[in-house]
Structure formats: structure tokens, C-alpha cells
Structure 1
Amino acid sequence: MADIILFALFSTRRQDEICRIEWASLDSRNRSVVVPNMKNPMGTAGNNRVVYLTDEAWSIIQRQPKCDERIFPYNSKSVGTRFHAYCQFLGIKDLRFHDLRHECISWLFECGWDIPRVASVSGHQSWSMLQRYTHISRQEPHDKYRGWSWRPVSTE
């Protein structure tokens, strides 16, 4: 569960997307992955999208055992239930799994990434859709996760 939460935090992926991505859809040369049936505003199926992975997300994928065609072979509803139970146990109120997506997008902007680069990770097709996740300020780029002991480090 820790790797799923960290992957969400550093990839912008939703819980159901995490549980659907497959080893065969990874592109190691470009550090990207095809996310099958990515959610879209039109609600249509078959919206397979290539998204790029942050170094941290790539590192998490590399340490997963290959025991299934899926990288994270879990039921997404079970992931959501477990996440909610952990939050309750820790006394964290009002935190949803989707908030990890918001946090990652905000973090990428805080690190100084531009809109197209953030969108290449998040999968957003337009600035208007991406904008609701961002709270751009005038502060200098900074990485609040630098030195964080839970931050995945690439071994490549």
C-alpha cells in the first residue's frame, strides 16, 4: 500500500488508473506508460493515453515484482477502502486518494515545471482542465520533498 500511495503522490495517477497499468505498456526509453481508459470529461471509453513518469514514479515501478501483467495488481476499490481506513487510523480527516493527484500537480509547478511538461505527466489535454489543480504563486521554484526519507530514489 505504501508504494501505491507514493506512486499516486509522484505520478498524478488515480487509484483505478494505477490498478490498470501494465508492464507491457511501459516504455523504458522514454520513461512513459500507456494509461488505459484514462478518465476524460466526455466520459468515453477507449481513452488510452501516454503519460510520462517522474523519476520517483519510475523508481517505484522498477521495484515492483513482476507477478501479474499489471504493475499494481490490486482491486482499485480495495485500494480506496484501505486508504480510507489508514486515514481514519491516523486521525487524518478530509483526505481523499484523489488529493494525492492534486498534490503532485502542485508540486511539479512548485518545482518550476511549465504547463506542457506538467500536462505530459498528468495527462490533461488543456490548460483550463489543469488549472483547477494548481495554485501558482510568485515564489521561487523549490522542491519540498528534497531530503524526504520516503522519497523514492532512482537506482538507474
Structure 2
Amino acid sequence: MVANMGTITKRTTSKGEIRYRALIQVRKQDINFNESRTFSKKALAEAWIKKREAEIEENPDILLGKNSTAMILADAIDRYLEEINEALGTSKRYKLKFFKQFAFCHKRIDQLSREDFAQYILQRRAGIPEMGLDPIAKSTADQEIQYLRSVLNHAELLWNQPAPTKELEQAARGLRNARQIAGSETRSRLPTSHELQTLTSYFHDRWENTNTTMPLHLIMWLAIYTSRRRGELFGLRLDDYDPEHGVWLVRNIKNPNGAQGNNKRFKVSAQAKQIIDQLLDPTVRKKMMRLTDDGSLLLPLEAGAVTRVFTKACKIYGIEDLWWHDLRHEAATRLAEQGLTIPQIQQYTLHDSWSSLERYVNLDLIRKNVLEFDDAIKM
């Protein structure tokens, strides 16, 4: 009879969350067995150990498995998130956690096949109504493949795990041939003045007449006037702001070579400063911080929740195909329309390459009567 193989270790994550790592380990004679999973509650960890020990007792050959030390993919994701932590962007961190609700994430990584990856992507492309998930674009599917690839490569290179990287690549190749995944296409969608006015009026009314903690009429225009990505915008720390010199330090900026330590200062325009001053007004600040005690950030709000409200508002008013990231394109376009050169635009947007900004400075048409915040808020 097999007994007492399992142990539970309590850990605290970098965010202060409690996790329980359940480990089943057997070291004797020719057996070298190691299997673990991480849970949010101790009772769940105990139940998993009891269930797994019963399975091993019924089938001792499990202990002799060729790749018995392979991790469950969900556990590999948890460990990856803990080890990489600050180097990850908000979107990637959210998506990796999102994966864990699917069945393939609860298989040992050495048992994952190209069919598992392909089936998941095809499901996502078609949409999963029972989970409330709409179909995703080819570029989004390709990005999810990349996120999975990063975890498996990390597991193989750093933890000596039998990661199915070749299986994932074969799945990606087949999905690309079937035109189910593809790289991102260059978007040209910009919000119209009418759309910006509609959203500003709606968000301002919502701020004035409900208990919302989100001054989206200010946040939307802050995104435009600072040209910051979503993760950067909601990560702006007050102690990194230098109003005297008109700059703000952005930490861990997205970069192909890794975000960790890639810190840069962007130029704060007069229009951006106007919005920042309003966000720092004690009355606004008090309402924003109603659900948090963390006063270190300019926007002490959950980025995903804010952008979901933005997306919902677009649906309410029939504003089609407008993404939050399009506000960054709007920002760069406005700077180019003002006659700024690429090096000057980079002081605001912090783009690394000239090529990514060329489409803004080579505009075929300069817009007239572009809506500004001061005019929008008067309506």
C-alpha cells in the first residue's frame, strides 16, 4: 500500500496571494517520481494528493512512467508567472492565466500533442458561446501560440522539462497553412471626432451621476495625449513624474528583447498635463481610490475593467471596430499632423524604430478640425 507520498507547501506570491503547492515525490531503488500542482486553497491541494495517491496505488506503473517528472501545463504557467513576474506585460499575464480554464492545460506537458494546441486554437477562432467567448482574429490566435511557446521554451531550457515545443511548432505550421493564424495587420482605424465626442459625453455623464470609480472621460484623453500603451498608462507611478522638467518615467516598456529594465522617460505635453492635473484633484482622486488603498499609481484602477467599459460603450453607441490601442495610433497621428519629425515624435511615443512611425509622418491627408478635450467636455 502506497501512503504519505504527498506534501503541501504554503507560498506567498509577489502580489501577496497565498498558494499551496501539492507535491507527490517518490525516491527509491529505480523510481524517481515527482509530480506537483498548485492550488489557491489547502483543501484543494489535500484532495488532489488523496486522489493521485489512490490512482498510484491502483496503478503503480505510474511511478515508472518514462516522463513521470513532467509538470502539468497549468503548474508550469504558474511557475513561469512567478519567475518572470515584472518582465511580463499586463496582456500576457492575463492571457496565460486565461489558458488555465481549458482542459489541455491540465495535462502533463510531455503528453501534449499538436492536436491539443490545434483544437484549442480552432475553438477560439470559432468562438465558444457557452463560455461567453467571441471568435478571435487570426493575429490574436497567433499571439496566443507565441505566449504558449514562451512558457514551453522556458520550461525546457530552465527546468529541463520534456516540453512539446516541436508539437506546438507543427500545430502552428498547420494552422498557418489553414489560414487560421497570421501576423498582425497594420491598422488604420482612428476614432472620428463624432465618436470621441460621443464617448466623452457618455463617460463624463457616467462619472458625474453614478458611483463609478473610473473617470474614463479623462483616462481616454490621457491615453491620446500621452500616447501610452494600456499597460504603461495604468502602470504610471506618481513618484516617477517630474513636472518640473515635463517628463514621466515609464518602467519595463514592451520590447522584442524583453521589457524588464527597459525604462524610459516620455515628454509630457501641455494637454497631457492638463488631464494629469485633473486626475490628481483630491475629489477625483478620492473617488478613484474608493476600492483601493494603493496611492502609488496615477490610475489606481484595474486596466482590464476600464477597457471593458470602453468596449461596452462602443457597442452601446454602435461604434464598430474601435480598440483601446487605436487611441495610441490617434496620438501618433496627431503628433505627425502637428509637423513633428520622427525623432520628435519618439520623445512622446517612445517607439524604438523609425519604421514603426513612418506611416504616421507620410500621411496622405492632414485632418482638419480635430476634436480636443477642452471642446469635447463643453458639449
**Normalising TM by the smaller chain, what interval?**
0.7 to 0.9
Counterpart contact for 2:234–2:301, Cα < 8 Å = yes
Pair 1:24–1:45, CA change in 2 (3 A):
same
Q: In structure 1, what is the Cα distance between the partners aligned to 2:265 and 2:368?
A: 27
Of 272, 297, 320, 1:57 maps to: 272
Pair 1:28–1:129, CA change in 2 (3 A):
same
- Report what 2:240 is aligned to: 25
- Report what 2:191 is aligned to: none
- Of 43-52 and 17-26, more deviation after overlay is shown by 43-52
Pair 1:75–1:34, CA change in 2 (3 A):
same
Counterpart contact for 2:279–2:298, Cα < 8 Å = yes
Q: In structure 2, what is the Cα distance between the partners aligned to 1:26 and 1:148?
A: 23
Matched, 1:11 2:237: no
Q: CA deviation at 1:46?
A: 2.2
Q: In structure 2, what is the Cα distance between the partners aligned to 1:142 and 1:114?
A: 19
1:50 is paired with a residue of what secondary structure?
A: strand
Amino acid at match of 1:79: V
Q: CA deviation at 1:61?
A: 0.7
TM (norm. structure 1) is: 0.85
Pair 1:44–1:22, CA change in 2 (3 A):
closer
- Report what 1:74 is aligned to: 301
Amino acid at match of 1:94: D
Q: Look at both structures and tell me which one has the larger radius of gyration over its CA atoms.
A: 2
TM (norm. structure 2) is: 0.37
- Report what 2:181 is aligned to: none
- Of 85-94 and 59-68, more deviation after overlay is shown by 59-68
Q: In structure 2, what is the Cα distance between the partners aligned to 1:96 and 1:106?
A: 16
Q: In structure 1, what is the Cα distance between the partners aligned to 2:314 and 2:366?
A: 32
Q: In structure 2, what is the Cα distance between the partners aligned to 1:32 and 1:46?
A: 18
Amino acid at match of 1:32: V
Q: In structure 1, what is the Cα distance between the partners aligned to 2:373 and 2:255?
A: 35
Counterpart contact for 1:112–1:142, Cα < 8 Å = no
Counterpart contact for 2:342–2:361, Cα < 8 Å = no
Pair 1:54–1:141, CA change in 2 (3 A):
farther
- Map Cα deviations across residues 35-85 of structure 1 (whole Å, 9 max, x no partner): 111112223322211111121111111111356111111111112211111
List alignment gaps of at least 5 residues for structure 2.
Answer: 1-215, 290-294
Q: CA deviation at 1:139?
A: 6.2
List alignment gaps of at least 5 residues for structure 1.
Answer: 152-156
Structure with more contact order per residue of length (Cα contacts < 8 Å, sep ≥ 6): 1
Instruction: Name the count of aligned residue pairs.
Output: 151
Pair 1:5–1:129, CA change in 2 (3 A):
same
Q: In structure 2, what is the Cα distance between the partners aligned to 1:29 and 1:96?
A: 33
Matched, 1:90 2:305: no
Q: CA deviation at 1:141?
A: 9.2
Pair 1:55–1:142, CA change in 2 (3 A):
farther
Amino acid at match of 2:321: D
Amino acid at match of 1:150: A
